[in-house]
């Protein structure tokens, strides 16, 4: 085994208790700042958003603790990587913006752990400003809630546009055919549309009216 893996580079004594407390308290403050930045720039809050805020605070402190434990020791770094490799994160991050805040918390936690106080001091305001400038707009969020994917199965021999357009014009502000395929051994068409409802409560009436049309065999409407 190479000597550089078994020997710590850090020749200093263990960090004093006041230094440890200072750095961990700083990591808590930084974590709260990251969570506050997320809250300020997120817009509409959900249960998932509140859970992520708590995760950002805890992650910042944990990363600071890991950084303190590693110090300058390469051996400890490899040991901790092996120990932490058993952890598996199976929660899918739906918004790539949330991933950026997770990395934000990791970076700030590492800076607090090694005592680079100027890194969060300069970085946090800049990241918060960038996140605020590119925050989700309420108008965009509302428009997204009206968007649906519509799948319709229609028997062969029907005039698709003449059959569907009257119902579309009643309930939809926009529709676009995105794919078409044959089904039932060529006896039907499977049509997929990207649509935007006129009103949020138009989904059920739209599906109901389409099902009543002669020649329509199946209707699926989902986000």
Q: Can you tell me whether residue 220 is helix, strand or coil? A: strand
Q: Return the closest-CA partner of residue 27 out of 103, 110, 119, 118.
A: 110
80 pLDDT higher than 80: no
Work out the mean pLDDT of the chain and round it to a whole number.
78
Give residue 12's pLDDT band: very low, low, confident or very high (50, 70, 90). very low
What is the pLDDT averaged over residues 98-110? 82
When comparing pLDDT for 180 and 95, which is higher? 180
Quote the CA–CA distance of 86 and 12 in Å, as a whole number: 31
- pTM of the prediction? 0.51
Whether the Cβ atoms of residue 210 and residue 219 lie closer than 8 Å to each other: yes
153 vs 8, which has greater pLDDT?
Answer: 153
Convert the pLDDT of each residue in 81-95 to its tens digit: 665 555 555 555 556
Report the pLDDT value the prediction gives residue 92, as an integer from 0 to 100: 56
> What pLDDT, on a 0 to 100 scale, did the predictor assign at position 62?
82
Tokens coding 200: 């949020």
In CATH, what is the architecture of 141-222? 2-Layer Sandwich (3.30)
Q: What's the Rg (C-alpha) of the chain?
A: 27
For the segment 150-163, the average pLDDT, to the nearest whole number, is: 90
Specify the range with the lowest mean pLDDT, choosing from 1-5, 76-80, 164-168, 199-203: 1-5
In the prediction, which pLDDT does 134 show?
75
Mark 78-93 as b/e (b = at least 16 C-beta within 10 Å).
Answer: eeeeeeeeeeeeeeee
What phi and psi, each to the nearest 5 degrees, are found at residue 222?
-150, 165
The Cα diameter of the chain in Å comes to 84
Roughly how many angstroms between the first and final C-alpha of the chain, as a whole number? Answer: 55
Write out the residue limits of the CATH 3.30.70.260 domain(s) in the chain: 141-222
**pLDDT tier at 141, thresholds 50, 70, 90:** very low
């Amino acid at each position: 085994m190479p000597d550089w893996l078994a020997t710590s580079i850090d020749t200093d004594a263990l960090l004093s208790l006041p230094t440890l407390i200072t750095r961990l308290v700083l990591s808590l403050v930084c974590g709260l700042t990251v969570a506050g930045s997320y809250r300020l720039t997120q817009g509409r809050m959900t249960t998932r958003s509140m859970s992520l805020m708590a995760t950002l605070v805890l992650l910042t402190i944990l990363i600071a603790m890991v950084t303190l434990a590693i110090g300058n020791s390469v051996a400890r770094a490899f040991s901790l990587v092996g120990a932490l490799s058993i952890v598996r994160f199976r929660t899918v991050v739906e918004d790539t913006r949330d991933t950026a805040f997770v990395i934000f918390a990791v970076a700030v936690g590492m800076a607090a752990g090694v005592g680079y106080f100027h890194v969060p001091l300069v970085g946090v305001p800049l990241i918060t400003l960038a996140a605020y400038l590119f925050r989700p707009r309420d108008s965009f969020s509302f428009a997204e809630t009206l968007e649906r994917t519509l799948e319709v199965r229609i028997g062969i021999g029907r005039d698709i546009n003449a059959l569907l357009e009257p119902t579309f014009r009643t309930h939809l502000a926009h529709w676009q055919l995105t794919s078409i395929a044959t089904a039932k051994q060529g006896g039907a068409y499977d049509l997929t549309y990207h649509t935007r409802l006129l009103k949020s409560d138009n989904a059920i009436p739209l599906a109901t009216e389409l099902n009543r049309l002669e020649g329509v065999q199946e209707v699926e409407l989902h986000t």
